[in-house]
Amino acid sequence: MHEREQRLAAAIDQHAANVEKFTRGDLSPAEFRPLRLAMGVYALLIVASFGFYLPLLVALPISPDAWRLHIPFRDCAGQTLPDDTTSSGKPPPGWCWI
């Protein structure tokens, strides 16, 4: 595992241990408040991500500019964006996921 993955796993384990302590009554509500804040921020991030990517997930028709906004990888191998006038055929060479 990489160091970043180890730190993330340790943080998740610590959070799970704190939630378990709170359910047992070993952690006061004041000590649990930062954990509640973290859970709320995480939930908000999930909802916002779902709302942002919903047009792509359900294949809603969107404008080329809106389509470009939703693409996380802009240029995989130095290629330019494909022609916006067509949506059929094979993707151009070098594109990661289109």
Is there a single domain that holds both residue 65 and residue 33?
no
More confident residue, 82 or 53: 53
Is there a single domain that holds both residue 39 and residue 54?
yes
Return d(Cα 69, Cα 94) in angstroms, integer. 19
Is there a single domain that holds both residue 46 and residue 7?
yes
Is there a single domain that holds both residue 40 and residue 22?
yes
The pLDDT value given to residue 28: 76
Rounded mean pLDDT, 42-49: 91
Is there a single domain that holds both residue 33 and residue 81?
no
The pLDDT value given to residue 98: 45
Is there a single domain that holds both residue 31 and residue 73?
no
Domain residue limits at 34 = 3-60
pLDDT at 82 over 50: yes
pLDDT at 44 over 90: yes
Is there a single domain that holds both residue 81 and residue 93?
yes
How many domains, in total, are found in the chain?
Answer: 2
Say if pTM beats, i.e. exceeds, 0.85. Answer: no
Return d(Cα 83, Cα 86) in angstroms, integer. 6
The pLDDT value given to residue 12: 85
Return d(Cα 35, Cα 41) in angstroms, integer. 10
